Amino acid sequence: MGLGSALLAHAEAIAAAAGHDTVSLIAADTHRDAPRLYTIKGCREVTRLPVVKGNWNVDAREWILFTKPIDAI
């Protein structure tokens, strides 16, 4: 299991222990690996919204919101 998979599993465990039934994740459209991993791990893309940059120097144009139902631990 890679680091991304391990972090996602840890986030799901924390959410489940807190009584939540869903985990939400946000990725920038410039991060190609994160959305691919989230999809492989059962996450579903919910929406895309523009990045509001202000004085922030970032190449991303959109935030991508993913959600995934989790099982209680």
Task: Name the residue range of residue 32's domain.
Answer: 3-69
pLDDT at 51: 94
Number of domains forming the structure of the chain: 1
Residue 49, C-beta contacts closer than 8 angstroms, at least 6 positions apart: 62, 63, 65
- Rounded distance between C-alpha atoms, residue 55 and residue 37, angstroms: 30
CATH of the domain at 18: 3.40.630.30
Task: Output the DSSP codes for 3-49.
Answer: HHHHHHHHHHHHHHHTT-SEEEEEEETT-SHHHHHHHHTT-EEEEEE
**Which residue numbers in the chain have pLDDT < 70?**
1, 72-73
Pick from 29, 17, 5: nearest CA to 72: 17
pLDDT at 1: 60
pLDDT at 11: 93
pLDDT at 73: 46
pLDDT at 22: 95
Residue with the two structure tokens 């991993």: 37
